[in-house]
């Protein structure tokens, strides 16, 4: 059974950066595609980008190009999402999800609050 465990909640100031982690177990990390999805309060789901660790080259949604960085460490089976130049509207729950015929396993979500 695949498990994705994310890092804890963060409070950040506008203009700063945040890095969220997603520790995977039970699957084949290197070849499993993994995506990041966010959900602002009361809003819908928004795909941010994804990566296949063995290939290492991520894809990013156009909206986040230049501000987002997705990486994966095969030695620790952990994926990371880094978002820079944070704005108040980046306040959201950030999810990682395994991408295999749809997003079949999800992390528990990480709340990132941007506040001065």
Partner 1 sequence: EIVLTQSPGTLSLSPGERATLSCRASQTVSSNYLAWYQQKPGQAPRLLIYGASGRATGIPDRFSGSGSGTDFTLTISRLEPEDFAVYYCQQYGTSLYTFGQGTKLEIK
Contact status: 106 vs partner 1 (CB under 8 A): yes
In the chain, % helix, strand, coil (3-state, to 5) comes to 5, 50, 45
Task: Give the integer Cα–Cα distance in Å for 29 and 40.
Answer: 28
Helix then strand count (H, E) for the chain reads 0, 11
Hey, which residues between 17 and 36 contact partner 1 (CB under 8 A)? Answer: 35
Selected from 8, 41, 44, 66, the binder of partner 1 by CB under 8 A is 44
Considering only the stretches 12-20, 66-74, 76-84, 92-100, report the one whose residues sit in contact with partner 1 under the rule CB under 8 A: 92-100
CB atoms within 10 A of CB 111: 15
Among the listed residues 95, 110, 112, 114, the single contact to partner 1 using CB under 8 A = 95
Residues in the chain, how many?
Answer: 116
Residue 24 near residue 99 (C-beta atoms within 8 A): no
* Distance of closest approach, residue 46 Cβ to partner 1, in angstroms: 7
Closest approach of partner 1 to the CB of residue 14, in Å: 26
| Positions in the binding site for partner 1 (CB under 8 A) | 35, 37, 44-47, 50, 59, 61-62, 95, 97, 99, 101-104, 106-109
């Amino acid at each position: 059974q695949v498990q994705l465990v994310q890092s804890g909640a963060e409070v950040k100031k506008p203009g700063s950066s945040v890095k969220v982690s997603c520790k995977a177990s039970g699957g084949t990390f290197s070849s499993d595609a993994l995506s990041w999805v966010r959900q602002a309060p009361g809003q819908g789901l928004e795909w941010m980008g994804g990566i296949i660790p063995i290939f290492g080259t991520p894809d990013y949604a156009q909206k986040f190009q230049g501000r987002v960085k997705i990486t994966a460490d095969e030695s620790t089976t952990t994926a990371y999402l880094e978002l820079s130049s944070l704005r108040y509207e980046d306040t959201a729950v950030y999810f990682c999800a395994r991408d295999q015929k749809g997003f079949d396993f999800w992390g528990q979500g990480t709340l990132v609050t941007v506040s001065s």
